[in-house]
Amino acid sequence: MTPITTRLAWLVGYLDRPEPRKYHTSATALLGGLGIFVASLAAWVVSAMGRPAEPHELLPNLVVGALITLLLGLWDDRVGMPVLAKLIGQAAAAAVLLVSGIVPDLHLGPVGNGILTMVGLVALMNAVNFLDNMNGMVAGLSAIALAAFAWGSLERGATGVAAGQLALAGACIGFLPYNFPAAKIFLGDAGSLVLGYSLGVSAILAFDGPRGWGQLGPVLALAYPMFDLTFVVITRLRDGRKIYQGGRDHSNHRLASVLKCPKKAVMLLWLSGAALSASGLVVQKLDRATPALLLVGLWSGLLLVAGIRLSSVPIEPNLPRPSKS
């Protein structure tokens, strides 16, 4: 699908133009998210034909929620969108999910569970959207996390859910050769919002398994996007800048500045994402206090140290830029 959506983007003018805060130096196609959505949905439908129906499998609400995020991102990529309007659209996608009854038991009562789920899902969509600022970053991390969630789904016997997660992970992997290390096409907001939504839904479904300490597993798997969002908010508030104004000041930007290579930074963060996902699976599988507290404490300490260290790295305006081809 990616070569098709690349040609389509150039045909209709869905292009990302260079800006000082961005790495690319020439106009680049922006419909990568559309290709990933179509390819993964088609693969999921085909896989469902050979299996009996399961709870949540191809549930219309899940697909409608993802479609809302796709359309929201396509509109934002094309004409731009005020922050409030974007948040309302994301909340609408989350509400479609909640209406389906897929709400984790967070021990806060029905209303508390619903509110926290919506806030968490919207926050994750924005965290992934924020993180889509380097070639291969979001597609690679998403593929890793989705594969881990699929592993957990298979262990719960939810083969239909696992098939959807693997279809989306496979689509991300198929997209990567066109996006990393040099980019012929970008995910765009459409792609990052769909992936953020899908990761959030996967985490919510994973909560249906363990009822105790294992519920920290999905949180660990998605720790890096939430860490980067927290990092950006804190550092921008500290420096007196607007939270929603884009810039090359994310944790991965500063890591690339330290390593003097964006490609190395992305690959190191893929490795970190794999370690976090593996830790999340261990916590979810064991569902006991000791391993959960040890792993959560370990990662919390590492991310805190990394955040403090990276926050002192100057924002580098002239990092090496990868060429388009």
Note the pLDDT tens digit of each residue in 191-230.
999 999 999 999 998 987 666 888 899 999 999 999 999 9
pLDDT in tens, 31-80: 999 999 999 999 988 888 877 666 555 567 788 999 999 999 999 998 88
Averaged pLDDT, 150-170: 92
Provide the total of helices (H) and of strands (E) in the chain, helices listed first. Answer: 13, 2
Amino acid identity of residue 114, one-letter, is G
Q: Which phi and psi (to 5°) does residue 16 adopt?
A: -100, 115
The region, left, alpha or beta by phi > 0 then psi within -120 to 50, assigned to residue 76 is alpha
Q: Which phi and psi (to 5°) does residue 28 adopt?
A: -135, 140
- Under a CB-based contact definition with an 8 Å cutoff, are residues 205 and 153 in contact? yes
Task: Give me the DSSP letters along 24-41.
Answer: -SS-EE--HHHHHHHHHH
Q: What is the CB-side half-sphere exposure of residue 83 using CA atoms within 13 A?
A: 7
Amino acid identity of residue 26, one-letter, is S
The pTM assigned to this predicted structure is 0.91
The domains of the chain are located at 2-16+28-311
Task: Give me the DSSP letters along 9-27.
Answer: HHHHT-EE---TTSS-SS-
Q: Which phi and psi (to 5°) does residue 287 adopt?
A: 50, 45
Structure tokens given for 24: 């690319």
Max Cα–Cα distance, the chain, nearest Å: 56
Listed residue (268, 265, 266, 291) closest to 280, CA to CA: 291
Residue 244, CA distances (Å) to 108, 163, 187, 303, 308 in order: 30, 35, 19, 22, 21
Split at pLDDT 50, 70, 90, the class of 318 is: very low
